[in-house]
Structure 1
Amino acid sequence: MSFSYIYKGVTHTDHSVDYMQNLGMNQEQIESVQSQYNFEREQVLCKRQKAYREESDPLYMEWQFDQTSEAEQAWRSKVEEIKARFPLFED
C-alpha cells in the first residue's frame, strides 16, 4: 500500500521534502502532507496492534502450550492475514 496525495490535480506518492519542494509546495503544504502521512500510518499501526492482540496473540499462546505444528501454522497464518488486511505504506 502506498500513501498518496493530490497536488495541483495530480496524484503523487513521493512524500519526501525534496520532492515536494521541487513540485513547488510551500512549507505549510509540505507539513500538511507529512502530518497526513503520519496520521494514516499511525492508524494502520494501531489497527494492526489491536488485531494482533485480539486475534493472533491467543493463537500464539495456544501454540506455546500445545507445541504442535498445526497450532504454529494457525498462528503464523493469522499474522499474515492481519498484515494483508492492514498493509503498511511502502516508502
Structure 2
Amino acid sequence: MLFFGQQKTFIFVSFSMSDEALKSYLLNLKAESQKAGAQLVMRGLINNSFTQTKNKTMELGISFDIDPCLFEQYKIDVVPVIVIDDKKED
C-alpha cells in the first residue's frame, strides 16, 4: 500500500470477476493507481494455488497485494471497491 501523508488508498478486486472485466479494469486502473498512490488488493489465491495465481497474474499483466485482513477490516463483501482511509493512527 502507498501512503500520502497518513492517507491510504486501496482498490479491492477479485479473480471472481470475469477475465475480460478484470483485465480491462486492472490494466486501466494500474496506470491510474500508480499516479494516485493506490494499491490493488485481492482477498486470496485462485483455488489456494500460488501457481494458478501467478499464471493468471502474468496472463493479465497485473500486480497486487494479497491481504484478506484488509477485506475484513473494511468489511468488503463485493468488488470492485475503492477505499480511501485518512484516519489518524494513535
Shorter chain as denominator, the TM-score bin is under 0.3
Question: Which has the greater radius of gyration?
Answer: 1
Instruction: Considering fraction of residues, name the structure with more helix.
Output: 1
Q: TM-score if structure 2 supplies the norm length? A: 0.27
Q: TM-score if structure 1 supplies the norm length? A: 0.27
Name the structure, 1 or 2, with higher relative contact order (CA <8 Å, separation 6+). 2
